[in-house]
Amino acid sequence: MRQVVLGIIFRENNGVKEYLLITAKKYFGKYTGLFYPCGRHVEEGENPKQALIREVKEELGIVIKPIRELAKTGSDIANQETYWWECEKVPFEIEMGIDDNEIASVRWLEKEYILANPSLFWPATNSFFASYFKSQLTNEL
Comparing CA positions, the residue from 10, 111, 122 lying closest to residue 74 is: 122
Average pLDDT over residues 86-103: 78
Average pLDDT over residues 22-49: 93
Average pLDDT over residues 92-119: 87
Comparing CA positions, the residue from 30, 102, 25 lying closest to residue 61 is: 102
**How remote is the C-alpha of 133 from its chain's centroid?**
14
Q: How many domains does the chain have?
A: 1
Average pLDDT over residues 67-86: 92
Mean pLDDT of the chain: 90
- The predicted pLDDT at position 43 comes to 94
Portion of the chain with pLDDT greater than 70, in percent: 92
- Domain limits for position 116: 2-140
Specify whether the CB–CB gap between 117 and 38 falls below 8 A: no
Q: What CA–CA distance (Å, rounded) separates 49 from 20?
A: 18
The CATH number of the domain holding residue 128 is 3.90.79.10
What is the number of other CB atoms lying within 10 angstroms of the CB of residue 41?
12
Residue 70 pLDDT > 90, yes or no?
A: yes
* Rounded alpha-carbon distances, angstroms, from residue 57 to 1, 6, 11, 49, 133: 24, 13, 17, 13, 26
Q: What CA–CA distance (Å, rounded) separates 56 from 64?
A: 7
